[in-house]
Structure 1
Amino acid sequence: MGIPYLITYLRPYAELKSLAGQDVIVDGPGLCYHIHHRCLGRRTEARNSFEAAPSYGELGLATVEWLDGLRDNGAVVKKIYFDGFLPPAKIRTRLERLQRQTTQLIDYHNTHKTPGRTTPRSCETAPQSIFEGKHPRSALTSLPPPSFLVPAILEVLQSSKYYKDVTEVVPGEADLYCAKYISYHGGVVLTGDSDLLVHSLGTDGAVSFFGDVESSSEEQPGYLRTQIYQSAAIAERLGLPKTHGLLSLAFEMFMDHYGTFPKLVAQAAALKAVMASGSMFEDFCKEYTSGSEEPEVIGPSMRIFQSLDPRISEVVLQFPQLAKLAGQDAAAGNPSQDAPHVFLPFLLDCPNRTSAWEISTSVRQLAYGLLNLIVAKDQERFTVIEQRRQGKTPSTREWQLPRLSEISDACIATSDRFTELEDLHVPKTELWLAAMICQELEWSNSLDRASLSQIAMGQLSEFPDRDLDCSWDIVHFIAQMQGSYYSFRILKQILGVVMSSDEEPRLPNAVRQLSSRLECLPGFCEDPEINDMHSLYKRMKTTGLLQIAQRVVGIEEPPPIAADEGLTKPSRKKRKRERIADTNSLATNKTNSRNIFELLPQE
């Protein structure tokens, strides 16, 4: 993101100032990636990007530490904005990002026979202030960030005493709302995106970048200062027209990639490119136009929109009726007839296997279909398009949504699954893990594949109490668990929107019951992570979750799998012989399968 070299050219015009007394507006997604970068810089013992990955708990604590540092220095955090909707014009950019992430994962997989070791995180982290972090080694940045980096940090802020009331998921792009706020109220936007400099920020609006906020050793301990860019003042010093400000300079840079700074400034002052390009300049401006009115305050009954995860908000706001309720600008570019596009978070799974999102597809189908219960008939959607990795390339998958007549039965079946697990004495703390294992078993059995749940248990049984270089099988198993967990989270949050609508009195009882059941879905800190594998193994073994899940889904317990079965692939002929030998028993198991989502349409 950002305009290349814009910060480089304008840095001499920035002023080094204290943050004391400043009203601060924070670009939420930018803050998340900055915190992740800082946490990687704390790693001293990690050998690679996989081992360096911070936990969601650590990321949340580091974010609060960073924001508390601003407050302790006298800054006032007025707003923390998160994207709740990205316009269709950004689809190409997002697909390019998905391709880069896929390439990163494949390259890492090709150069690492084993992804890394599992190590207690306390041994990996060097204690230091979040404002004094070093740049991470390049070896620690070769993989994409954690899959749920942004929603995990958002969850922490929404439960924080100091930040929950200033944190919002907005029905548009966060940078537009940051710019709009300070154009009315003044203040400093903290961001990682140089695009903010180009927006109309008013006479008192300024921009600073996360990487510039530093602890000064010249002042008292903990004293923070940063480089502040006063856009209007910089434009005046450069002699740019007040009607265009830095926007004219940015457009000159966009049109002339090789011009020197003095040449570009002179052309911008004369509006050379602006006058010559006509409609091209108008298109360029659209990305930096935030509307002329101050953001509206939505009613309390629909405030739930502001608490949704960004990716979930984006699904909801592709239904025009709901977008209007959430206060979305009519010019946001929301398609009114197209199937909703969903960019699923990028899971760090094994690129040689089917996407880890696959096992929980039916849960997401149900979630998306629930929105048809609360919109006008002419706005109902019958398919949804998911963007994710499939094999070694990004993939577009279009899924059928359940018909309205099927939703009650699907909700009942989902609730019954949890009831059945409870009847088999699965502890409440393990209920979600058991449900995830059931999904994995059903999916593997339906495709005549060995269960990764069983493979992972076999491998971990060899090293139950010490660190190990884990396999890609274990990595994929964890990714499946995370994808399953997040699919239930999508279902929970969409149910929250449905239950908050005016249609609530007319909803089927099954919808209400499922919503109540999902209220106890744990937060991201309890989501399975790779460094939790030892405790996860002990929990599964102690409670017999694998055996219980096999019983629930109607699959006979298979013979034990050797610990190294997932590490060395049997020959194709051997696998074929094994499949032929097991044909009868597998066929019997499939006939008796009790897949709770089999009533939903597939592709």
Structure 2
Amino acid sequence: MGIPQLKKHLEPHAERKVIEPCKAVVDGPSLAYHILGLCCRQTRRTSPFEQPTYDLLGRTAISWLNAIEECGISVIAIYFDGYLPRQKRPERVQRLLHSSRDLIKYHSAFITGVPRASSSKADDDTTVVDLFPHSWPGESRPKPPPPAFLVPAIIDALCASESYARLVYLVPGEADGFCAERARREGEPVVILTSDSDLLVHPLGDNQAARGEERGDGLSRLSFELSRDPYLTLGQAVEKCKRKGDDETLQKEYEAFVQSYLTPEIGTGFREQGLGYNEPRLDPRVSELVHQVLQRASREGQNEESDGEHYRNVEMFLPLLLDSTSRTSAWEGSRDVRRLAYAVLQLLTTRPISMVHEMRRMQRASSGTAIEVPPQAKVSELTSTLLNLMSKIQQSVGRTKVVWLVLGFFYDICLTVDRGRGFPLGLELLSQEKSGKLNETSWEFVHFLAEVQATCYSLRMLSQMLGFVASRVKKLPKQLTRLSRLLEALPSLPEFPSLGTFAEMLRSMREEGGLDCLLNVCNDARFNDILPHIDEIKRSTIRKKSPKKTKGVQMGEGRIAPRLTNPFNLLVTAGSED
């Protein structure tokens, strides 16, 4: 993850050389963000409409690797983080907090809506990316967060490539440590391609850096001081390095810091898995969660009271979505899909997981949003209800992309019902789309898109967890096997709804039977105040109404009662299995 400010302080003293033909190991996350930077050089960075698509990012990653190989640099491995050690958690929380605050600033800077794309923006199919630019333009204005699924999209693209699939590894630790270890194992010099300054602290061996013990200790000590206080100037950090023996407690802290690089922490019970072989594919953040569950399984029989907080709290760091900070997180609507996913993982351990703490947009450092995990006894019921829901949708609209859009609308409606107030955001946008008044730059449009993306990604998480559990147990229950097969039809990341495609998808929702399907799956007493609005959108153009007349589910006989369980239960009696 890098030592704060270390690269900034050392870069002026770096020696620049031409890389001769050699072998190279690539830090995957660094590659992903480098590719993002290349694709964004000539775009309006304040506009999310000009962010590169996942398809362009993947194609550019392949082109960049091809280009360096043509220069004589032979890539022998590309490593991605599959687990982050405990000591990295505080830094990671601070990064999430910083990113969340940046999103709040962005929302405040463009409160009336996100900036449109410039008229000169080229279509992605014709976009030519400069793979080796001489300069990098700066941007001081607030920017949207990077594409939420950047890293898994790059992994998917590499794994689909005949040239690089066999070189991609999702490792049970930080990528930089595995890069360093691979470089040490090679019998000849190896270049490590990374932007992670942590690599400078890893021991690389005499044939890699030719650094003496004193130099190595000095660089490690400097890194340690900066990790403790990133606001130090280089001169201040050097002065602190000179006083290294004055404080016994500080010296022990430093020794522990160095040891973490000599023997980095890796996840328990997980061997290096090569993506593109027979191992089930996991996105890095899903992999991190799986490692935590496997660690709990490896500690079965031990006293839970003696466990550290890391072992008691199972955490899921969800990708940061571009959503409206004046609204509840876009992840909230699809939480029940993830509850089922977390429950499925309990098949790997007899030690119950009562809570998963989701780390998502936050305004202050915290332990995240606690998500209650259903016990194993409830997995069958939850699976059956989701199967019934998906079966009803597929029977209405076929196996088209509208299936996943209907799910997004359904969870948005359930979230509104759960709160007992407001009006479903998705239905409001459908009304605008049909009347020709849809504003694609409004925060309402952006937020509902994020909700649908969250639904699709939550289903992707569930699909990956089902695949992983199936590889670890003798046999999955029949219903879970059926659900896993249904989820094979999920859209790939490049096919996820985006700002460029979402307006057209809303039109498809109306024209391809989505509204009839929504009426069908919402055929329950709790939705009585919602159904007339769906039917009205279906029958005629919706006129813009004044705020006083559109208080959503509070119209008529007062507030709708909050749901008592999860939204799947609303369909238990309505649906039936094939």
**1:278 aligns to what?**
251
Shift in Å, 1:320: 3.3
Contact 1:118 1:531 in 2 (8 A): no
AA of the residue aligned to 1:180: E
**2:304 aligns to what?**
none
Contact 1:41 1:134 in 2 (8 A): no
Contact 1:60 1:152 in 2 (8 A): yes
Note the residue ranges of structure 1 that are not aligned, 5 or more in a row.
206-230, 326-332
1:70-125 CA-partner distances (Å, limit 9, x unpaired): 11112111111111111222222122112212211111111211112267863588
1:519-545 CA-partner distances (Å, limit 9, x unpaired): 221210110001112321332122031
Match 1:190 to one of 189, 193, 196: 193
Q: How does 1:161-200 map to 2 (within 5 A)?
A: 161-185=162-186, 186-200=189-203
Contact 1:22 1:187 in 2 (8 A): yes
Shift in Å, 1:441: 2.2
**Secondary structure at the residue paired with 1:86?**
coil
Structure 1 residues 557 and 67: alpha-carbon distance in aligned structure 2, compared to 1, 3 A threshold? farther
Structure 1 residues 73 and 188: alpha-carbon distance in aligned structure 2, compared to 1, 3 A threshold? same
**2:109 aligns to what?**
111
Determine if the alignment matches structure 1 residue 513 to structure 2 residue 516: no
Match 1:479 to one of 445, 450, 456: 450
**Secondary structure at the residue paired with 1:129?**
coil
Note the residue ranges of structure 2 that are not aligned, 5 or more in a row.
300-306, 573-578
Structure 1 residues 274 and 289: alpha-carbon distance in aligned structure 2, compared to 1, 3 A threshold? farther
Contact 1:437 1:453 in 2 (8 A): yes
Determine if the alignment matches structure 1 residue 492 to structure 2 residue 489: no
Q: How does 1:32-431 map to 2 (within 5 A)?
A: 32-43=32-43, 46=44, 48-112=46-110, 113-117=112-116, 122-123=122-123, 127-132=128-133, 134-138=135-139, 142-185=143-186, 186-205=189-208, 231-232=209-210, 235-236=211-212, 241=214, 244=217, 246-251=219-224, 257-258=232-233, 260=235, 264=238, 277-290=250-263, 307-320=281-294, 337-375=311-349, 377=350, 379-389=351-361, 396-431=368-403
**1:23 aligns to what?**
23
Shift in Å, 1:358: 0.7
AA of the residue aligned to 1:456: L
**1:522 aligns to what?**
491
Shift in Å, 1:152: 1.3
- CA distance in 2 between partners of 1:85 and 1:593 (Å): 33
1:359-418 CA-partner distances (Å, limit 9, x unpaired): 10001011011111122x2x3312111111268997721122111111112112112212
- CA distance in 2 between partners of 1:32 and 1:66 (Å): 11
1:282-304 CA-partner distances (Å, limit 9, x unpaired): 122144234599x9965899977
- CA distance in 1 between partners of 2:521 and 2:570 (Å): 15
Match 1:457 to one of 415, 426, 430: 430
- CA distance in 2 between partners of 1:320 and 1:499 (Å): 14
**1:220 aligns to what?**
none
AA of the residue aligned to 1:409: E
- CA distance in 1 between partners of 2:366 and 2:248 (Å): 40
- CA distance in 2 between partners of 1:79 and 1:426 (Å): 41
**1:222 aligns to what?**
none
Contact 2:357 2:367 in 1 (8 A): no
Contact 2:50 2:117 in 1 (8 A): no
**2:575 aligns to what?**
none
**2:3 aligns to what?**
2
Determine if the alignment matches structure 1 residue 504 to structure 2 residue 482: no
Structure 1 residues 564 and 283: alpha-carbon distance in aligned structure 2, compared to 1, 3 A threshold? farther
AA of the residue aligned to 1:187: V
Structure 1 residues 105 and 537: alpha-carbon distance in aligned structure 2, compared to 1, 3 A threshold? same
**Secondary structure at the residue paired with 1:79?**
strand
Give TM-score scaled by structure 1 length. Answer: 0.80
**Secondary structure at the residue paired with 1:317?**
helix
Shift in Å, 1:307: 2.7
- CA distance in 2 between partners of 1:15 and 1:300 (Å): 33
Structure 1 residues 183 and 292: alpha-carbon distance in aligned structure 2, compared to 1, 3 A threshold? farther
- CA distance in 1 between partners of 2:455 and 2:265 (Å): 42
- CA distance in 2 between partners of 1:528 and 1:345 (Å): 16
- CA distance in 1 between partners of 2:98 and 2:228 (Å): 26
**1:439 aligns to what?**
411
Contact 2:113 2:443 in 1 (8 A): yes
AA of the residue aligned to 2:334: S
Deviates more, 1:547-556 or 1:144-153: 547-556
Shift in Å, 1:12: 4.2
AA of the residue aligned to 1:550: L
Structure 1 residues 579 and 412: alpha-carbon distance in aligned structure 2, compared to 1, 3 A threshold? closer
- CA distance in 2 between partners of 1:334 and 1:395 (Å): 14
Identity fraction in percent: 29
Contact 2:99 2:145 in 1 (8 A): yes
- CA distance in 2 between partners of 1:153 and 1:301 (Å): 12
AA of the residue aligned to 1:41: R
- CA distance in 2 between partners of 1:381 and 1:128 (Å): 46
The Cα RMSD (Å) is 3.8
Contact 1:83 1:173 in 2 (8 A): yes
Structure 1 residues 527 and 6: alpha-carbon distance in aligned structure 2, compared to 1, 3 A threshold? closer
Structure 1 residues 312 and 252: alpha-carbon distance in aligned structure 2, compared to 1, 3 A threshold? closer
Give TM-score scaled by structure 2 length. Answer: 0.83
Contact 2:23 2:76 in 1 (8 A): yes
- CA distance in 2 between partners of 1:255 and 1:316 (Å): 30
- CA distance in 1 between partners of 2:494 and 2:275 (Å): 28
Structure 1 residues 4 and 462: alpha-carbon distance in aligned structure 2, compared to 1, 3 A threshold? same
Determine if the alignment matches structure 1 residue 570 to structure 2 residue 537: no
Shift in Å, 1:58: 1.2
Contact 2:159 2:275 in 1 (8 A): no
Structure 1 residues 385 and 150: alpha-carbon distance in aligned structure 2, compared to 1, 3 A threshold? same
- CA distance in 2 between partners of 1:181 and 1:452 (Å): 50
